[in-house]
Amino acid sequence: MINSYGYSILRNPRFNKGTAFTLEEREKYGLVGIIPDEIETLETQILRIQEQLESFEKPINKYTYLMQLLENNETLFFKTITSEPAKFLPLVYTPTVGEACQRLGHITRRPRGLFISIDQKDNIKTILKNWPEQDIRFAVVTDGGRILGLGDLGINGIGIPIGKLILYTSCGGVPPEHTLPIILDVGTNNEEFLNDPLYPGLKRKRIRGKEFDDFVAAFVAAMYEVFPKICIQWEDLPGVDAIRILDTYRDKVCTFNDDIQGTAAIAIAGFISISRLMNKKFIDQRFLFMGAGAAAFGIADMLVKKFERDGLTREEALGQIWMFDVNGLLVSSRTDLVEHQLQFAHDCEPSDNFAEAILKIRPTAIVGVSTVGGAFNQQVIENISLVNERPIIFPYSNPTSHSECTAEQAYTWSKGKAIFASGSPFAPVEYQGRIFTPGQGNNVFIFPALGMAIFATEAKRVTDDMLLTASEAVAEQVTTADFEKGLIYPNVNDILKVSIKVAEKVAEHIFDGGLASVERPENIADFIKSKMYVPSYN
């Protein structure tokens, strides 16, 4: 009889160790001769991975290689990512994941995640039960309708949930076996995909309205029946849908939207850091947004909560926040505003010139969530620098090509005065003999730690107060030395240490608020650490 067990274990990413199997394991599993005799350590294997990655010039090729590693050896993959997060996170998530999504239908790989089409609306529970793991705690879910700043990518957007859950594990310690990427296929309005024979999704126009909402309702009900401890993170849904779905389910089940709430939390962490390190009161900040969609609303709404936490009334808080969209400044005389925008519309003169609006409003910070590359032009940067000694410039749109300005533009046009943070990474900038290190307002400092706290406590809900607590916990970890280098967020290479502290603070808030489903431990920090996944060969 042929022994195929050893061969099959090499193809199971959860249990595969490759050349690190011990002699005893090789004999036990029938691996002798199947792999070379040399028994290697995890560290030696990482050296090989790093050398092989260096042979690729294009980031997309490095992404493909790393995804193949994930499909082959889960432990080695996560150990590699955590060995140097600043180097590897941009390869497995933004900005590289955007190109990976665009090309997904043309990259043949092993399927990862669940694909649930609207045609299977009455069969969702069966599909969920097809997944090999029974205790799923986190699902990142998208319909592919607004992937990063790239638009409608249909089911090719599955790369986003896959990438986000990689970060849950590598940056927050959430065990990978408890995570599940899901794409809801409701068609696509992307004509290129509709005419592409290699596009693997439904080739029909995107379904919206009541039929879409009914499908989402059936999906949510099935999820909580099959996986009762699940937390659903919504990702990259079109703006109006994102807000409506969040409002529909946030008080009913454990769910949140990272584009709205996670982006808001990390932006506010930066604003808190800046206020603290400049010895200014947070309530003295004034914000002007370029863009008035879901991301802007999420940040603005959480800003209101932070202002209120720090002593302002709601009316006073709203007075500190202004928005500008494709039709100009949000003012009360406009008749084209949707409901969630009305509270941020002020009684003032209309304006269709962002640079001029800066001179009228005199904000301390401008925040770009428009996905319009270059929207913060030279006049914008010069004007915000004119009304502030240290202007705060946050071009938050992803990917890099959609950033409202580059780090070099911000530092150069502000004559080195800017406090800068972006959604996508930028390299350090030299200006007049000084080296400026651009901050990156990366949600990775928020949602993995939030996820770890939810996982450990089995939280019943996700509240804005939990996210605001995460913001404050991130900001606490930025030092004066960091700020002097231009940093307003912690070093990405310290992400695990940061996440543990953030998760501890959030978990404490969950216990204090009575939202936990487990008993409060004596030591929350030790409790969090005991629940974390550590990539190692046992």
Q: How far is CA 531 from the centre of its chain?
A: 22
Please state whether the peptide bond connecting residue 95 to the residue before it is cis, i.e. omega within 30 degrees of 0.
Answer: yes
User: Do 96-253 and 5-84 fall under one CATH topology?
Assistant: no
Residue 262's nearest CA partner among 164, 166, 343, 349 is 164
Kindly tell me if the per-residue pLDDT of 240 is higher than 70.
Answer: yes
Catalytic residue, chosen from 17, 164, 306, 505, is 164
Domain ranges of the chain: 5-84, 96-253, 286-441, 445-516
**Burial class of residue 64, CB neighbours in 10 A (0-12, 13-18, 19+):** middle
User: Does domain 5-84 bear CATH number 1.20.1370.30?
Assistant: yes
Mean pLDDT, residues 490-495 taken together: 89
Residue 497 annotated as catalytic = no
- DSSP string computed for 75-135: HHHHHHHHHSHHHHHHHHSTTHHHHHHHTGGGS-----SEEEEGGGGGGHHHHHHTSS-S-
At residue 257, what are phi and psi to the nearest 5 degrees? -120, 115
Mean pLDDT, residues 383-412 taken together: 93
* Token reading at 30: 């029938």
* Residue 395: per-residue pLDDT: 96
Mean pLDDT, residues 469-486 taken together: 89
Kindly tell me if the per-residue pLDDT of 244 is higher than 70.
Answer: yes
Mean pLDDT, residues 262-291 taken together: 93
3-class DSSP state of 54: helix
* pLDDT level of residue 1 (50, 70, 90 thresholds): very low
Q: What is the C-alpha radius of gyration for the chain, rounded to an integer number of angstroms?
A: 24
For 285-299, letters b (16+ CB in 10 Å) and e give bbbbbbbbbbbbbbb
Integer angstrom CA distances of residue 229 from 460, 516, 517: 8, 11, 10
User: In the chain, what percentage of residues exceed pLDDT 70?
Assistant: 98
Structure-model confidence comparison of residues 107 and 274, the more confident one: 274
* Token reading at 214: 């009914």
Integer angstrom CA distances of residue 397 from 149, 373, 438: 7, 8, 15
Kindly tell me if the per-residue pLDDT of 448 is higher than 80.
Answer: yes
User: Does domain 96-253 bear CATH number 3.90.1150.10?
Assistant: no
Give the span between the Cα atoms of 81 and 283, in whole angstroms: 38
* pLDDT level of residue 109 (50, 70, 90 thresholds): low
Four-residue CA torsion sign, 195, 201, 205, 206:
negative
Catalytic residue, chosen from 17, 29, 79, 93, is 93
The predicted-structure confidence for 172-208, as pLDDT tens digits, reads as follows: 999 999 999 999 999 999 999 999 998 999 999 999 9
User: Longest C-alpha distance within the chain, in Å?
Assistant: 84
Would you state the torsion angle of the CA atoms of residues 528, 530, 534, 538, taken in this order, to the nearest 10 degrees? Answer: -170
* Residue 3: per-residue pLDDT: 63
Which CATH topology does 286-441 take? Rossmann fold (3.40.50)
Integer angstrom CA distances of residue 152 from 157, 296, 494: 8, 20, 34
User: With contact defined as beta carbons under 8 Å apart, do 496 and 171 qualify?
Assistant: yes
Q: Please write down the HEC assignment for all residues of 138-153.
A: EEEEECCCCCCCCCCC
Would you state the torsion angle of the CA atoms of residues 347, 348, 354, 360, taken in this order, to the nearest 10 degrees? Answer: -120
Mean pLDDT, residues 462-470 taken together: 96
* pLDDT level of residue 284 (50, 70, 90 thresholds): very high
Give the span between the Cα atoms of 215 and 202, in whole angstroms: 15
**Burial class of residue 94, CB neighbours in 10 A (0-12, 13-18, 19+):** buried
Kindly tell me if the per-residue pLDDT of 411 is higher than 50.
Answer: yes
Kindly tell me if the per-residue pLDDT of 372 is higher than 50.
Answer: yes
Q: Which residues have a Cβ under 8 Å from the Cβ of 184 and sit 6 or more positions away?
A: 116, 117, 118, 141, 142, 143, 215, 216, 219
Please give the mean pLDDT across all residues of the chain: 93
Give the span between the Cα atoms of 504 and 309, in whole angstroms: 20
The predicted-structure confidence for 17-38, as pLDDT tens digits, reads as follows: 999 999 999 999 999 999 999 9
Please state whether the peptide bond connecting residue 175 to the residue before it is cis, i.e. omega within 30 degrees of 0.
Answer: no
* Token reading at 334: 């406009």
Kindly tell me if the per-residue pLDDT of 102 is higher than 90.
Answer: no
* Residue 485: per-residue pLDDT: 75
User: With contact defined as beta carbons under 8 Å apart, do 529 and 500 qualify?
Assistant: yes
Kindly tell me if the per-residue pLDDT of 166 is higher than 50.
Answer: yes
Kindly tell me if the per-residue pLDDT of 2 is higher than 60.
Answer: no
Helix axes 239-249, 294-309, angle to 10 degrees: 50
- Residue 56, number of CB atoms within 10 A of its CB: 14
- Residue 153, number of CB atoms within 10 A of its CB: 28
Give the span between the Cα atoms of 47 and 52, in whole angstroms: 9
- Residue 185, number of CB atoms within 10 A of its CB: 24
The predicted-structure confidence for 201-238, as pLDDT tens digits, reads as follows: 999 999 999 999 999 999 999 999 999 999 999 999 98
- Residue 177, number of CB atoms within 10 A of its CB: 16
Mean pLDDT, residues 255-284 taken together: 92
End-to-end CA distance of the chain: 30
CA geometry: angle 42, 7, 163, nearest 5 deg: 55
Give the span between the Cα atoms of 390 and 280, in whole angstroms: 12
Residue 224 annotated as catalytic = no
Give the span between the Cα atoms of 173 and 260, in whole angstroms: 23
Helix axes 85-92, 59-72, angle to 10 degrees: 90
Instruction: Classify strands 419-422 and 429-431 as parallel, antiparallel or unpaired.
Output: unpaired
